[in-house]
Amino acid sequence: MEQERYDLTGSLLRWYDYNKRILPWRENKDPYRIWVSEIMLQQTRVEAVKPYFDRFMEAFPEVQDLAEADDERLMKMWEGLGYYNRARNLKAAARKIVNEYDGKIPGDYDALLSLNGIGTYTAGAIGSIAFDLQVPAVDGNVMRVLSRLWGDDSDILKEKTKREMGKRIQAYIPKDRPGDFNQALIELGAIVCIPNGKPLCDRCPWDTVCRAYREDRIDQLPVKKPKKARRKEYKTVFLLETENRVALHKREEKGLLAGLWEFPNVSGRLDMEEIKSQLRQWGIESDDLEPAGKGKHIFSHVEWHMKGVKIRLKEAVLSEQFQWIDKKDLENTYALPSAFEIFRKVL
């Protein structure tokens, strides 16, 4: 076991030293920067995160700044990253850190787990990278690598599989470089044992010990139970505008895209007569209507299929259903989910 541990750990760390990517959150071991980056990287590609991370750190350079952030500004800084509850949890956790930990991110694994939005993977990543805790950080990338390394055909979507892989890999985490080991595993899954496509086995430091490679089972692992098909929802999106203003609607505080702004919309693919009928319900009479394109947005469990209609008005019509804002504020102040980006461009 000792020799196997030395070979696996040593070869992985040597590979990482020569192949790791230069990323802004790797510049130092600041736990705040590591925490923010790990939350942003959930469900989001590294290249997409980079510019958001830089802007976010400029806007909220310290935990205290995040704890005191205005909600609208926070959402605007997160606009386009999706999964907006991540940002809300960041602020809630920051407030807890300020109130209970004197503004300092705790270096204890259980304390990290107690913070909003932090699960076992994120606690392991922050704990090992920032505080040198000898704890695993097992995400989807890591489970893909380990299932192939060990020839493990357990369903990686099950929490039990994640726990068992974490326990097993913990024996290989070195005391002197736990953070580098976890980052190396994640990096291996990101750039060699890649998520979509053929893995680059000829570049892998574990090619001689990987069971899936030796047994020609790469295409069979990892095992994932098929997900349920996403349901489809159809929407008609209303772009109500005057010369300088546009109407927005604020979503409910719970559920999908909770508390975010959107263009007014209703369920279904409305024809022109149904569109005019809906406008009349809002107290709007206008014949200056034109199609405003179509859009599709995929969430984890649902697909939105949208058609837009643009309605020009001489003046804003008051309604409890929406709020009129200056168009420039749509760019600078109000966070609009990326689902509506195609319609924003029409304005």
CA distance 342 to 293: 8
Q: Is residue 131 part of a domain?
A: yes
Whether the CA torsion 195, 201, 202, 206 is positive or negative: it is positive
Q: Is residue 79 part of a domain?
A: yes
Whether the CA torsion 100, 105, 111, 114 is positive or negative: it is positive
**Are 157 and 271 found together in one domain?**
no
Residue 5 predicted with pLDDT over 80: no
Q: Is residue 322 part of a domain?
A: yes
CATH of the domain at 302: 3.90.79.10
Give the number of domains in the chain.
2
Residue 289, beta-bridge partner list: 311
**Are 300 and 156 found together in one domain?**
no
- Of 189, 220, 251, the residue that ends a domain is 220
Query: Is the CB of residue 140 less than 8 Å from the CB of residue 155?
Result: no
Pairing verdict, β 231-241 and 302-312:
parallel
**Are 120 and 257 found together in one domain?**
no
**Are 81 and 193 found together in one domain?**
yes
Q: Is residue 23 part of a domain?
A: yes
What is the domain range of residue 120? 2-220
Q: Tokens 């089972």 correspond to what residue?
A: 217
Q: Is residue 323 part of a domain?
A: yes
Q: Is residue 103 part of a domain?
A: yes
- Residue type present at position 167: K
Mean residue pLDDT of the chain comes to 95
Tell me the per-residue pLDDT of 284-322, one tens digit each, with 9 for 90 and over: 988 899 999 999 999 989 999 999 999 999 999 988 889
- Of 193, 220, 247, the residue that ends a domain is 220
Helix, strand or coil for residue 60? coil
* Positions marked active-site: 38
**Are 261 and 339 found together in one domain?**
yes
Nearest to 97 by CA among 108, 83, 85, 82: 108
**Are 245 and 316 found together in one domain?**
yes
**Are 204 and 92 found together in one domain?**
yes
Q: Is residue 226 part of a domain?
A: no
**Are 8 and 118 found together in one domain?**
yes
CA distance 158 to 171: 21
Cα separations in angstroms, 50 against 142, 165, 301, 309? 21, 29, 26, 34
Q: In which band, very low, low, confident or very high, does the pLDDT at 333 lie, cut at 50, 70 and 90?
A: very high
pTM value? 0.92
Q: Tokens 């493990």 correspond to what residue?
A: 152
CATH of the domain at 19: 1.10.340.30
Tell me the per-residue pLDDT of 160-184, one tens digit each, with 9 for 90 and over: 999 999 999 999 999 999 999 999 9
**Are 267 and 213 found together in one domain?**
no
- Of 177, 200, 220, the residue that ends a domain is 220
**Are 117 and 260 found together in one domain?**
no
CA distance 220 to 170: 25
